[in-house]
Amino acid sequence: MFKNTAIVGAQFGDESKARITHDLSKNYDWVIRWAGGANAGHTIYRKGKKYVHHLLPSVNWDYNTKAFLSLGMAIDPEELLNELIEAEKDFPGVSKRIYIDPAAVVVFPSHKEKDRLTNSIGTTNKGIGPAYQEKYARAGFDFASCIYGSSPTSNLIKNIIDMGVQFKSVYEMLPVFHNSKLLFEGAQGVLLDINHGTFPYVTCSDTTLSGIGSSGFSSLLNTINVIGIAKAYLTRVGSGPFPTAIDDENIENDIRLKGNEFGATTGRARGTGWLDLPALCYACDMSAINEVILTKFDVLFGMESVKVCTSYKMPIRNGKDLIYAVPNYAEMQGWKDSNDQNLFDFILFVNNHLMNNTIMKTKVSAFTSGLKDEDFHIID
Ligand code: IMP
């Protein structure tokens, strides 16, 4: 029914969006990033090799898919150049398949310095806040205004162009996009969204479907199937409310180690918690998520029981209210492997909860383990 797809983080980021995007990308002409910048840490595995990237979309470059970095992003040219050089080593000529909207905001070294000096909420120090701050104060520089001149930034951008990257606005590209299959790749998650997240403990971009619209794709919004990605548990990195944080240090550590829950951008240990269904329902409705893919169920293998938050003592009115949320839990029997009936009961439980508690009538359409591609289960 839908021609295009968006992959949205339905939690606090780090839900394995990159892996899903990478797997799906071969079926699409374009993979488009619409939010954030090098604060994102996207990890994928290809032929046994681990790749971590921050700005380039998670395209499987073995196919003909191209990439577009939209104007909703804040892009650090230095980081981008490094990523292009890395990508060229395995995929010579790949830079020619990468397009950037010249209206995307440029992140300067001064933004990163300011981020480091003013960081009060545990940001990634990638200059994201200060760069967007200038944009919304109508003072920031976009790529179009930095290309000419002889500043260090202009030279970096010239190098990027010399590698073959093309600068094209979304308006110029719309005829192409309307005739192509598009996969939109989200960064961070709905609970970190500037408008709908746990403000002020949020990032500075629009991580929901509406960010795709404001990046210039409004004419395509009704063609997009929105898939939310959520882990079978929850993690959060940086400060801010985390109602289902696990208070048992052993369980918390166990999940962190098994799930390799350390920031791909900063290396910070992520806090771990139980799956939070009210927060997930909220994320689904705030980003028009039609279906959810549950990831990393294998991290919980061997646990005697698994908790799931099914409601809060007081309902929330918005993301900010998570600071007051006190969870009520259901306790479910743990599972030992991918064929365990207890795992299927858990998936069914999550599915029924989402269907009954979201305006979107969101369903669970698939579930997948952490790393093994073959352990991907589609629900009919
Ligand atoms: P900033 O985006 O670097 O300004 O950081 C703001 C908040 O978002 C901090 O709590 C970060 O830890 C969090 N954050 C930003 N990017 C990511 C991400 O890719 N995954 C998880 N958390 C993130």
Cα(336) to centroid of ligand 1, in Å? 32
Phi, psi for residue 67 in degrees, rounded to 5:
-125, 145
Question: Can you tell me which atom of ligand 1 is nearest the CA of 266?
Answer: 12
Q: Is the pLDDT of residue 118 over 80?
A: yes
Reduced to 3 states (helix: H, G, I; strand: E, B; else coil), residue 323 is: helix
Which helix (H) or strand (E) segment is 354 a member of? helix 341-357
Question: Can you tell me which atom of ligand 1 is nearest the CA of 41?
Answer: 19
Distance CA 338, CA 85 (A): 39
Residue 307 tokens, joined: 């908790």
Percentage of residues of the chain with pLDDT beyond 90: 93
Nearest CA to ligand 1 atom 5: 123
Q: What is the structure's pLDDT at 282?
A: 98
- Of 39, 43, 112, 239, the one to substitute when testing ligand 1's pocket (max ligand atoms within 8 A of C-beta) is 39
Q: Among 111, 89, 105, 133, which Cα is nearest to 35's?
A: 105
Number of neighbouring beta carbons within 10 Å of residue 245:
16
Distance CA 307, CA 309 (A): 7
Cα(211) to centroid of ligand 1, in Å? 17
Q: What is the structure's pLDDT at 97?
A: 98
Distance CA 258, CA 272 (A): 11
Q: What is the structure's pLDDT at 370?
A: 87
Q: What is the structure's pLDDT at 344?
A: 97
pLDDT digit string, tens, across residues 338-376: 999 999 999 999 999 999 999 999 999 999 998 677 789
What is this structure's pTM? 0.97
Distance CA 268, CA 299 (A): 19
DSSP 266: T
Cα(195) to centroid of ligand 1, in Å? 15
Q: What is the structure's pLDDT at 169?
A: 98
Instruction: Indicate if 90 belongs to the active site.
Output: no
Cα(190) to centroid of ligand 1, in Å? 12
Q: What is the structure's pLDDT at 321?
A: 98
Half-sphere exposure of 122 (CA within 13 A, CB side): 16
Cα(277) to centroid of ligand 1, in Å? 21
Q: What is the structure's pLDDT at 375?
A: 87
Q: Are 33 and 17 in contact (CB under 8 A)?
A: no
Helix axes 341-357, 277-286, angle to 10 degrees: 50
- Of 54, 79, 203, the one to substitute when testing ligand 1's pocket (max ligand atoms within 8 A of C-beta) is 203
Nearest CA to ligand 1 atom 1: 123
Reduced to 3 states (helix: H, G, I; strand: E, B; else coil), residue 282 is: helix
Q: Among 101, 155, 123, which Cα is nearest to 38's?
A: 123
Instruction: Indicate if 196 belongs to the active site.
Output: no
Question: Can you tell me which atom of ligand 1 is nearest the CA of 270?
Answer: 21
Q: Are 333 and 342 in contact (CB under 8 A)?
A: yes
Q: Is the pLDDT of residue 189 over 90?
A: yes
pLDDT digit string, tens, across residues 278-306: 999 999 999 999 999 999 999 999 999 99
Q: What is the structure's pLDDT at 151?
A: 87
Q: What is the structure's pLDDT at 205?
A: 98
Query: What angle (nearest 5°) sits at the alpha carbon of residue 371, between those of residues 369 and 372?
Result: 75
Instruction: Find the mean pLDDT for residues 197-220.
Output: 98
Distance CA 359, CA 270 (A): 31
pLDDT digit string, tens, across residues 43-59: 998 888 888 999 999 99
Q: Is the pLDDT of residue 130 over 90?
A: yes
- Of 105, 120, 192, 268, the one to substitute when testing ligand 1's pocket (max ligand atoms within 8 A of C-beta) is 192
DSSP 197: S
Q: What is the structure's pLDDT at 250?
A: 96
Q: What is the structure's pLDDT at 1?
A: 77
Which helix (H) or strand (E) segment is 52 a member of? strand 49-53
Our CA dihedral for 200, 291, 255, 244, rounded to 10 degrees, sits at 50
Distance CA 203, CA 39 (A): 9
Percentage of residues of the chain with pLDDT beyond 70: 99
pLDDT digit string, tens, across residues 316-343: 999 999 999 999 999 999 999 999 999 9
Q: What is the structure's pLDDT at 140?
A: 82
Q: Helix, strand, coil: what percent of the chain each, to 5?
A: 35, 25, 40
Cα(379) to centroid of ligand 1, in Å? 31
Q: Which residues of 34-68 are buried (b: 16+ CB within 10 A; e: fewer)?
A: bbbbbbbbbbbeeeeeebebbbbbbbbbeeebbbb
User: Which amino acids bring their CB within 6 angstroms of ligand 1?
Assistant: 12-14, 39-41, 121-124, 126, 128-129, 188, 192, 201, 203-204, 237-238
pLDDT digit string, tens, across residues 79-101: 999 999 999 999 999 999 999 99
- Which residue in the list 14, 206, 276, 298 is annotated as catalytic? 14
Q: What is the structure's pLDDT at 372?
A: 73
Number of neighbouring beta carbons within 10 Å of residue 366:
16
* pLDDT averaged over every residue in the chain: 96
Instruction: Find the mean pLDDT for residues 150-169.
Output: 95
User: What DSSP assignment string belongs to 99-159?
Assistant: EE-TTSEEPPHHHHHHHHHH--S---SSSHHHHHHHHHTT---BHHHHSSSSSHHHHHHHH
